[in-house]
Amino acid sequence: MTAIVIWRNEEDIYNPTLWVVSDSLVSNNNSALIEDASKVFTLPIKLTIPDERGYLNKVYYQHSLGFCFAGSTLMGQNSYISILPLLSNLICHKKYIPSFIEIATYILNYFRGTFLSYLTRHNNKAFFEASIFGYCHIENKLQIAHYFVENTDADGYNVKLIIKENKSTSDFLYLGDKPQLMREKIESALNGEGKPGRSKSRAPRYVIEDAINNKSPEYSSIGGDIQLGIANFSGFKPYTIQKPYEIGKPASYISYLGRELTPELSSVGIARVGGDAMS
């Protein structure tokens, strides 16, 4: 299964952000399949308008949102892979910026079609929930879209959408396994006091890390390592993690999904891979 949390961070009050942390374990009936699975992705939004000669290849708007999912890995990953080339190749004959809600509604329509098709073949194995999150340049605020499967007597199973504003640093969205337990722990951490090395503003990260490191059967479906990303007005950015080779000593390495970015994985030519890192 999965454990993902998205929350508002105001460490910089002039630049509030949405943070996301996920585990990286994919399992089946409590049996680990993949321990370095990616569940949080960058969703690029790009719109082109006519250039001076009338060709639709002049980039007018470019942005990125975060995308994450829990539940069916096939539904989540395939939907992301399918939506990515569509939203990164928008065209318009005039200057235009799509709103977050317009993007969220488009993805809802896509989810509904692919989910109902998958449901007829795989029944409850098709169940999933997902989110896109980030900054809306039309409404000038951070927003979160939550997609989930709901069963109504009239329509049967269908995908629903809720837009969450997250105006407070105590607001969050949790997706994944052990929802009641994990929501209680996250809420308690956000409303409690920070600890040395564990600031209150980053508390949900430590809740996910603790669940990953907890080897009791209760947390067996949450594991691997953390995946971290931050969204703000400039877009969504994934972060690598800086880890010590040995706790208490300065020597460290850069990790992504629990995998060390060794020299052959840390650069492409003279360009460095991984962007920003966080300890």
pLDDT of 6 > 90? The answer is yes
Q: Residue 141's pLDDT is what?
A: 95
- 195: confidence class by pLDDT, cuts 50, 70, 90: confident
- From CA 25, how far away is CA 75, in angstroms rounded? 16
DSSP 222: S
Please report the beta strands in the chain, taking only residues with DSSP state E, as ranges in sequence order: 3-9, 17-22, 26-28, 31-34, 40-49, 58-71, 90-91, 128-136, 141-152, 156-164, 172-176, 227-232, 235-244, 252-256, 259-260, 267-268, 271-272, 277-278
Any idea which architecture 3-278 has in CATH?
4-Layer Sandwich (3.60)
Q: Residue 198's pLDDT is what?
A: 86
pLDDT of 154 > 70? The answer is no
Q: Residue 153's pLDDT is what?
A: 63
> Where in the chain are the domains?
3-278
Least reliable range by pLDDT among 26-30, 33-37, 53-57, 87-91: 26-30
What is the overall mean pLDDT for the chain? Answer: 90
Q: Residue 1's pLDDT is what?
A: 65
- 32: confidence class by pLDDT, cuts 50, 70, 90: confident
- Residue holding tokens 């949900």? 204
CB-hemisphere CA count at 13 Å for 31?
2
Q: Residue 64's pLDDT is what?
A: 98
Q: Residue 60's pLDDT is what?
A: 95
pLDDT in tens, 76-98: 899 999 999 999 999 999 999 99
Burial (CB < 10 A; 0-12, 13-18, 19+), residue 237, is middle
pLDDT in tens, 111-147: 998 887 877 776 767 788 999 999 999 999 999 999 9
pLDDT in tens, 204-248: 999 999 999 988 888 888 889 999 999 999 999 999 989 888 887
Least reliable range by pLDDT among 65-69, 72-76, 99-103: 72-76
Q: What is the mean pLDDT of residues 269-276?
A: 85
